[in-house]
Amino acid sequence: MDIILASGSPRRRELLSRVQLEFTVISVDIDETPYQDESPKDYIVRMVAAKAEAATVQLNRQLKNNNAHLYQSLLSKPIILLTSDTIGVLPDGKTVLVKPNNREDAYRMWQQMSDSTHEVWTAVQATQLSLQPKRSDEFNNEQVWQIINQQQIIERTEVTFVALTPEMMSDYWDSGEPVDKAGGYGIQGLGAAWVSRINGSYTNVVGLPLAQTLALIKEMTNTDTR
C-alpha cells in the first residue's frame, strides 16, 4: 500500500525519509486547542483522529474537483494515511504543553520544565483508506475515499532539563526555533543544550517515534482488509 503523511512538520518528513520510506505529503489544518480539563491522552487521540478525518475530506475534494492527478498512482489500491501529534506533559500527568502562542507562553512552560523531568507524548494513527462506492450525492465521482481500518499508538519519553536562567530562555526564544514546537523546544536543534537526560525514544521527542511508527505501518500492511 502507498503511504500519505498528513503533516506539515518537516521533522516528521525528514525522519521517514531517513529510512528511505516512500510517501506522499499533504498538510491539514485543524483547531488544536485543548478542551477544558481534557486529559493528555484524550487530547492527542482526538488530534490524530481529527487530522485523519480532515485529510480524508481533502483527498475527496481532490476527486470532486477532478484534481486527482496529484494522487493518480494511489487510485488503484488502498492507502495508509499517517497522522501524528506531539505534546509535552508535566509531572502532574495533567498539564499539556503544546506549541507556544508567544514569548510569555513559552517562558511559562519553560519555567515549569526547568531543572525537572517532563514527558513527551506522541500519538500516531495509521488509517487505511479505500475507494468505495459513494454513499450520497456529495461527490461527483462514482467512488470516494473511505476509512476501512484504523490503529493508534502512543509513545512516551522522559526528558530532563537543566536549570534554565532568564538569559537562556531569552536567547532561545530570539533564535526563532521554539515557535512551532510542542513544549517550545527542539531536541534536534539548539534545544539540545537544555536536555541533560532522556529515557525512551529520541525520535519521539523530535516528533515521530520512528521504530514504533514503522512497526505500525508493517502491522497495518499485514492486516490489509481488501
Rounded to whole angstroms, what are the CA distances from 62 to 27, 66, 102, 162, 195? 13, 6, 35, 48, 43
**Residue 85 annotated to the active site:** yes
Q: Residue 186 is placed in which grid cell?
A: 527542539
**How far, in Å, CA of 64 to CA of 62, rounded?**
6
Q: Which domain holds residue 137?
A: 2-222
Query: How many C-beta atoms surround the C-beta of residue 223 within 10 A?
Result: 10
According to the model, what pLDDT value does residue 72 have? 53
Number of domains in the chain: 1
**How far, in Å, CA of 100 to CA of 123, rounded?**
19
**How far, in Å, CA of 198 to CA of 161, rounded?**
9
Tens of pLDDT along the chain (226 residues) come to 789 999 988 999 999 999 999 999 999 999 988 898 899 999 999 999 999 999 999 988 877 776 555 455 555 577 999 999 999 999 899 999 989 999 999 999 999 999 999 999 999 999 999 887 776 555 554 678 888 899 999 999 999 999 999 999 999 999 999 998 989 999 999 999 999 999 999 999 999 999 999 999 999 888 655 4
CATH number of 186's domain: 3.90.950.10
* Helix, strand, coil share (%) of the chain residues, nearest 5: 40, 25, 30
Q: Residue 38 is placed in which grid cell?
A: 481534557
According to the model, what pLDDT value does residue 190 have? 96
According to the model, what pLDDT value does residue 142 have? 64
Q: Which element (helix H / strand E) includes 25?
A: strand 24-26
According to the model, what pLDDT value does residue 69 have? 52
Helix (H/G/I), strand (E/B), else coil: 159: strand
Rounded to whole angstroms, what are the CA distances from 133 to 16, 41, 77, 80, 178? 32, 34, 14, 19, 45
Query: Which residue in 2, 29, 37, 85 is the catalytic one?
Result: 85
Q: Residue 61 is placed in which grid cell?
A: 475534494
**How far, in Å, CA of 50 to CA of 33, rounded?**
12
